[in-house]
Amino acid sequence: MGGDLSRPEFEERCFRFSVRCDRETNQRIETAARKAGLSVTAFVQQHFDTILDGPADAYGFSPDLFARRHGIGSKDAQLFGALRRLADSDGVVTGSVADFAATAGWPGQHLNYHFKRLLKAGLVDTIAAARGGKKGTYRILQVAP
């Protein structure tokens, strides 16, 4: 009856951490959580989820956070960030693999793979596909970071 209390049950993929803070910090966290419409636990978890993310770029875009939110890989998110920087105010971007790779800051040999993943995730739509040396035109469906 009850099981072994010396070994608490937990989901194998889930670990718990404890943090300490003074009363003033606790009050500030509670206030910020209320303003965000979250429980304190959810608010702290939201912060915790970002502590290992790479920093946001100069445009406020965090590839790691974006990747997690949209269920894509980090490289996919980096490419999305590059497309976002090239896009006009309507989210339309025209370019070649070389253009997108240069903006993303990495070699273009795997760009098609990551681009297809963005298409599959519904984050980019093709207006006019690149063909015969002509640049393609695409629409970014989610412009916000």
If one compares 49 and 48, the residue with the highest pLDDT of the two is 48
Greatest alpha-carbon pair distance for the chain in Å reads 72
Tens-digit pLDDT profile for residues 93-123: 999 877 888 888 877 677 888 888 999 999 9
Domains, in order of start, for the chain: 1-48 (no CATH), 63-140 (1.10.10.10)
Mean pLDDT along residues 114-136: 90
Residue 76 in this model has a pLDDT that exceeds 80: yes
**Claim: this prediction has a pTM higher than 0.75:** no
Question: Nearest CA to 142 among 106, 108, 111, 118?
Answer: 118
> What distance in Å separates the CA atoms of residue 52 and residue 38, rounded to the nearest whole number?
22
Q: At 3, list the tokens.
A: 């099981």
